[in-house]
Amino acid sequence: MRRLLLLAPLLLFTVGCGVVQSSKGEATDAAREAARRVGERLYGQRPRTAEEVGRSASGIDGVEVLRVTGTSTHDGDGVDVVVRTPGSAYNSWFDLEEVTVLRCFVVRVSPKSEWRADPRDVDCPDVAPLTFAPPPEPPRLPAEELRAKLPRVPEGGRVDEAEVHRTLATLGLDPAIRTEVKAEGGRVGVLLSVKGNGFDAQDCLLARVGPGATEVWVPPRIQRMPGEGGCTVGNALNPAPPPH
């Protein structure tokens, strides 16, 4: 009888041939799953700096970034981010109320990272969570100013490319805005663009000055994706048809 009483507590932790995990263990698993989701959010082939990766991770609800190592995702082994995530569990067999834990894991971000890779458990560094300044806003492309200042040429008139260049010079454009002007077939095309990241839609503004019509527009987003050719001066002179 005494032996049975000693075994009774152990029986509470077993079901069949498996071991019943405590709520603390289940909560830790939940925290690990939250860290795994961080890895999913950060996964991708786009080159990013360590600061960009840390900023992205810190913007995820419930996630604290405690350490970021590495230079960029495409240098060396990539970027390692130590995140602290919460996990909760409740097992009525063992607990009077829900158990919540905070655990730390390393999430690696690089082109070699595997989708839904298991994050590595680590001791939490004794530091305050990192904070990151918001990313710099890209310069605004001056659509209204460009529309107002570009020359209007009457039907049968001649477009002066030099005048278009002079107009652009008066706009005081941000140095980060690239300009391109090209004359073709009696018309002049204009491109204003901001450097993209090679993965998302690029910011650009197109204009065309011709006899009887001066137009300024932003191409549809699908045409501004990498490789689509929407942000080119050629598209200003001979616009691609809108997507269906």
Would you kindly state where each structural domain of the chain is located, as residue ranges? Answer: 21-122, 143-237
* pLDDT(183) > 70: yes
191 with 185: CB under 8 angstroms?
A: no
Tokens of 218: 């932003």
Q: How far apart (Å, rounded) are the C-alpha atoms in residues 43 and 24?
A: 29
pLDDT value at 119 more than 90: yes
Q: Which residues contact 244 (CB under 8 A, 6 or more apart)?
A: none
Question: Which residues lie across from 120 on neighbouring strands?
Answer: 106
State the pLDDT at residue 80. Answer: 97
> Nearest to residue 226, comparing CAs of 49, 46, 50, 44?
46
Q: What is the 3-class SS of 36-98, one letter each residue? A: HHHHHHHCCCCCCEHHHHHHHHHCCCCCEEEEEECCECCCCCCEEEEEEEEEEECCCCCCCCC
Q: How confident is the model at residue 45 (pLDDT cuts 50, 70, 90)?
A: confident
pLDDT band with cut points at 50, 70 and 90 for residue 196:
confident
Cα gap 77→112, rounded to integer Å: 8
- The edge-to-edge listing of strands for the beta sheet with 204-210 is 177-184, 187-194, 204-210, 213-217
pLDDT digits (tens, 9 = 90+) for 200-213: 899 999 999 999 99
Least confident of 11-25, 144-158, 182-196: 11-25
For the residues 88-108, what does the mean pLDDT come to? 86
Question: Quick one: pLDDT at residue 91?
Answer: 76
3-class DSSP state of 149: helix
Whats the size of the chain, residue-wise?
244
